[in-house]
């Protein structure tokens, strides 16, 4: 009815420990329902599909930064549920007139620099949002999940990407497809990682506030360290990140949390 020319598929369940506790729920929401969407795209002749995949498909890679040529080895049902969608897209693109880009998100954080929007999830699990909430007194404390990983300080290391740069990656990916680009899987990250404790220290520094940090056990399904090689996205569709600064990411997230606090007070 609306002559849809492209699909950008953002929907899904994203909490790794929840996927370990409820694998079938994750396979239903992330994989089975993606199948239905891909089938609808084929039925109606939609030519272009951009999919939100995840760095969780890599598990704990043996190399850093990790490129798309490294064989996937997901360590959670969440990662496997997303990898299955990548596989469906690959097979579908070979059989039908559908071109796709699967963007493997690394750890998305921050908020719109102009303050128009940001993450508003209640009970969020993303580290930077949780740390900012704790700095503003919305939480009593923050828990570090695991301090015995094979990393410099024993805590997990992740590649944090500002949400604005991730948005531009989607726009670039769609332009790439519309200009005749072939199907592609591409990382979305900056190519450098920060540990959980390093992130917490930056939140304390940017906010100017101290808060309680509790050391806890590992969560199931969490890889030790995952850092992106973003070369493929840069080379193939000209993606150029503009917010590659952890303090800036935290600053935008903190500003958004303060904005939410003001809204709730009013």
**Residues forming the active site:** 78
Which residue(s) pair with 145 in the sheet?
216
48, 121, 16, 41: CA torsion to nearest 10: -20
Measure the CA–CA gap between 117 and 100, rounded to whole angstroms: 28
Q: What is the DSSP string of 140-200?
A: SEEEEE-S-SSSSSSS-EE-EEEHHHHHHHHHHHHHHHHTTPPPEEEEES-S--EEHHHHH
Residues 199, 127 contacting (CB under 8 angstroms): yes
Question: Roughly how many angstroms between the first and final C-alpha of the chain, as a whole number?
Answer: 42
Is residue 65 reached through a cis peptide bond, with omega within 30 degrees of 0 on the bond before it? yes
Q: How far is CA 173 from the centre of its chain?
A: 16
212, 217, 222, 227: CA torsion to nearest 10: 50
Asked whether the CA dihedral 105, 109, 111, 113 is positive or negative, the reply is negative
């Amino acid at each position: 009815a609306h002559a849809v020319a492209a699909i950008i598929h953002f929907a899904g369940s994203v909490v790794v420990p929840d996927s370990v506790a409820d694998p079938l729920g994750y396979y239903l929401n992330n994989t089975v329902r993606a199948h239905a969407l891909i089938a609808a795209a084929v039925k109606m002749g939609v030519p272009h599909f951009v999919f939100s995949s995840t760095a969780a498909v890599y598990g704990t890679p043996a190399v850093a930064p990790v490129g798309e040529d490294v064989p996937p080895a997901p360590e959670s049902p969440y990662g496997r549920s997303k990898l299955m969608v990548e596989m469906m897209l690959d097979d579908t693109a070979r059989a039908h007139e559908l071109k796709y880009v699967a963007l493997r998100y690394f750890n998305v954080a921050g908020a719109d620099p102009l303050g128009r929007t940001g993450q508003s999830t209640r009970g969020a699990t993303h580290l930077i949002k949780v740390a900012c909430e704790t700095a503003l007194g919305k939480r009593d404390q923050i828990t570090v999940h695991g301090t015995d990983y094979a990393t410099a300080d024993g805590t997990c290391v992740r590649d944090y990407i500002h949400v604005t740069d991730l948005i531009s990656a989607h726009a670039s990916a769609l332009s790439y497809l519309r200009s005749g680009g072939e199907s592609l899987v591409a990382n979305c990250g900056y190519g450098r990682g920060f540990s959980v404790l390093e992130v917490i220290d930056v939140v304390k520094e940017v906010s100017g506030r101290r808060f309680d940090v509790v050391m806890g056990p590992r969560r199931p399904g969490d890889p030790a360290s995952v850092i992106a090689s973003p070369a493929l996205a840069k080379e193939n569709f000209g993606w150029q990140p503009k917010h590659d600064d952890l303090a800036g990411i935290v600053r935008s997230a903190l500003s958004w949390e303060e904005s939410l606090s003001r809204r709730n007070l009013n």
